[in-house]
Structure 1
């Protein structure tokens, strides 16, 4: 009996070991450069539609090219580390807020993010900036916003009741937001919103009355715990009271 138990334990270890070893994505080689923005936040008029969102996450943002994926890549988080002698092994953790193409680069980092890849020494940081473009390696990592719920930001271009455009902020985890829908009471069903561009979803036929929304995050639908008010306003930000992992 003891030998059988030992064999079972060994079998469990052998089965679980590959899963434990692959719990994080491997790094992918690429190249990165940086924005020339003096404010270190990238561009507030970026292709994801986030506006000044970069300021709320301390400016650790990036524009991407092929990782943009027609806007579904907006809000994704990556660990990016360079491979020059001036670089740390940890690199920078960044959030995608824009689209941008450089010299065969996947990332155009804010200057704050680019500096974060360097060793904590002014001389090393200046040397890294002098390269302009550096070889990097990256991997997708979960976005983490401790204590922060998923927020629904109503675009300032919205006009109640004829046009509604929304953007989701603080999307945690590693799943993309692939769709948004609203409840249409007159035919008792959900209607798909259009991906206008980047992370922005819109409709020219928003429902009358309270606004019920749901979002497809990864393979699951996420619905705020309560409806948003019928008199929703352009520029307002509403708390979904839902936290994502």
Structure 2
């Protein structure tokens, strides 16, 4: 039976609707992977995370290019799924951006742990691995793996007491930290920290602690201040602190 033309357009739209809904909010791209001996991330990287960037999120991490945002994109979480209906997991894994990386028109250069999660089962994952590069779609999702407050760490480049560098380890939700200031109790003023690289902020001639922090998040000109001192006066390299600040 041949359909009358007046029914054809509504029918086409009806057939396309599930596909349109499925991809709503996603951006098309490509993904590839890099190999480590255990499938986890790498302890080196442009974000400055060290070993945290290797194992965070069960090692399902990626270097990103267009999503890098000058380092502000460090730590952002994305749901990534590939497009082959026979091989790909429809839901897709959550991937954490821990490095800068650019490939052949790819937004994600993923750890092997993350890349293999694109497959619907182990056999499909191995088939995708053979491809090397796959078409994907992604969207940003809230980060929830390390609690509800921003976490910071004293970076290894710090030199007590005058040079202080901190790394923003974790930001809950879907916002980027775009500014950090530290309170100088002696001068009674807020002093700006510089984004040194990636997620690392630093300050020369650091005030004597303990001291508060305040953060500025993407999409807002307001500052969010910690309710109490976050970093003690006798801070040490490698120490991590809960800022008490919600994104």
- The residue aligned with 1:229 is 232
Q: Which moved more, 1:190-199 or 1:33-42?
A: 33-42
Any conservation in 1 of the 2:71–2:197 contact (CA below 8 Å)? yes
TM-score normalized by the length of structure 2: 0.84
- The residue aligned with 1:149 is 149
TM-score normalized by the length of structure 1: 0.84
Q: What does 1:1-245 align with in structure 2 at a 5 Å threshold?
A: 26-54=25-53, 55-84=55-84, 85-120=86-121, 122-145=122-145, 147=147, 149-218=149-218, 219=220, 220-227=222-229, 228-244=231-247
Any conservation in 1 of the 2:152–2:241 contact (CA below 8 Å)? yes
Q: Deviations over 1:120-142 (max 9, x none)?
A: 2x321111000000011111111
Q: CA RMSD in A?
A: 1.8
Q: Deviations over 1:158-192 (max 9, x none)?
A: 11111100012221111110011011234321111
- CA distance 1:159–1:146, shift in 2 (3 Å): closer
Structure 2 residue runs without a partner (length 5+): 1-20
Other structure's SS at 1:129 match? helix
Q: Deviation at 1:25?
A: 6.5
Distance 1:140 1:56 in 2: 17
Any conservation in 1 of the 2:29–2:107 contact (CA below 8 Å)? yes
Q: Deviations over 1:185-241 (max 9, x none)?
A: 343211111100000000112101312211112324233332121111111111223
- The residue aligned with 1:5 is none
Structure 1 residue runs without a partner (length 5+): 1-21
Q: How many residue pairs align between the two structures? A: 221
Q: Deviation at 1:46?
A: 0.8
- CA distance 1:42–1:146, shift in 2 (3 Å): closer
Distance 1:147 1:36 in 2: 29
- CA distance 1:229–1:43, shift in 2 (3 Å): same
Q: Which moved more, 1:39-48 or 1:188-197?
A: 39-48
Distance 2:129 2:138 in 1: 19
Any conservation in 2 of the 1:25–1:139 contact (CA below 8 Å)? no
- CA distance 1:146–1:164, shift in 2 (3 Å): closer
Distance 1:213 1:226 in 2: 9
